[in-house]
Every structure is written in C-alpha cells, then in structure tokens.
Amino acid sequence: MLRDPSLIPLSRQHQHALALCVRIQRALGAGSVDLGLWQSEVRQHFSDEVQFHFAAEEQVLFPVARRFPDLARLVDELAADHKRLRLCFAHAEERAMDREELESFATSFSTHIRKEERQLFEALQQRLQPEELRSLGTELARALEDAAQACRLRPSASS
C-alpha cells in the first residue's frame, strides 16, 4: 500500500533511522567497530530527529490509533518500544554502549520502525477517512515543528 501523504514525514524519518541501523549492522558484520564514533552518531540522530519523531507519535499519532480498540495493544507495544529505545539513546549519550548493546539497539530500532510502518500506519490508512488523514497530517507537521522549535529555544549548557 502506498503511504498516505499525512504519514510521509514520519516515514521519511523512518528511512533515515533505518539507514543508520543498516550501517551499524554492516559495520558490526565487517569486524572492528569504533564504539565511540557509533555512539556519537546514535546520540546525534536522537538529538536531530528521533526525539521530535517520538514526541509527535506519542502526542498525535498514538492517541488517534487508540480510538480503535483493536490497535490499543499495538500502540502499547510501540510506546514501550519508545521507552526502551530512549534508554539505548541515553546509553549512547553516556558512551556506555558495548558492542552487543549497539547491535541490539540497531535490531530493536529497525524492528520497531517496521512495526510502525507495516502495522500501525497501514491500519490507520485503512480506518481513517481522507479528511481525518489530512487533519492527522496537519497535526503531525505542527507537532514536529513545535518540538523542533522548543529545542531551538532551549538554552545551551554553555549559556
């Protein structure tokens, strides 16, 4: 099924995250890995995009999905994934990841993304009317921009 335009911004961010996961998995498969560099990249990806992405899903997308009783369990799983993934991102921030955790992170993050794309997004596209999808897209765009703006306005540690 083609992705509805309302969900394309989230899907694009999913593509960025999947690319990171694939690169991590390939590097791990190739042998020697500089954990410090990968943790920096994971941390940067969270800072630049994922934190806003998670917030938009949790504030806008998940509440819409919860309107459908058959999607509640899936939303609970995805929210729990966000919690676990935030811990992984925090470990990367602390430079506390070992090779196994980096590998587990890449696998977990890619599995989570595929679950959202293949299950949640598909289900919402089937259940929501076109005008509801347009409204959802507007709310998601606003949530992504609001989150990014709030981060830009946050004073830095050096201020």
Mean pLDDT value of segment 81-95:
97
Query: What is the pTM assigned to this prediction?
Result: 0.89
Handedness of CA 131, 136, 141, 146 (dihedral sign): positive
Q: At what angle do helices 99-115 and 8-30 cross, to 10 degrees?
A: 150
Model confidence at 155: pLDDT above 90: no
Model confidence at 1: pLDDT above 80: no
Across all residues in the chain, what is the average pLDDT? 92
Residue 21 domain-assigned? yes
Residue 159 domain-assigned? no
Confidence grade of residue 128 (pLDDT, cut at 50, 70, 90): very high
Per residue in 15-43, pLDDT (tens digit) is 999 999 999 999 999 987 899 999 999 99
Q: What are phi and psi of 63, to 5 degrees?
A: -60, -35
Mean pLDDT value of segment 58-83:
97
CATH number where 22 lies? 1.20.120
Residue 158 domain-assigned? no
Residue 56 domain-assigned? yes
Confidence grade of residue 153 (pLDDT, cut at 50, 70, 90): low
Residue 157 domain-assigned? no
Residue 54 domain-assigned? yes
Residue 95 domain-assigned? yes
Count of structural domains, the chain: 1
The whole domain housing 106 covers 5-150
Model confidence at 123: pLDDT above 50: yes
Residue 155 domain-assigned? no
Q: Which residue, 132, 114, 110, is CA-closest to 122?
A: 114
Burial of residue 112, with CB atoms counted within 10 A of its CB: 0-12 exposed, 13-18 middle, 19 or more buried = buried
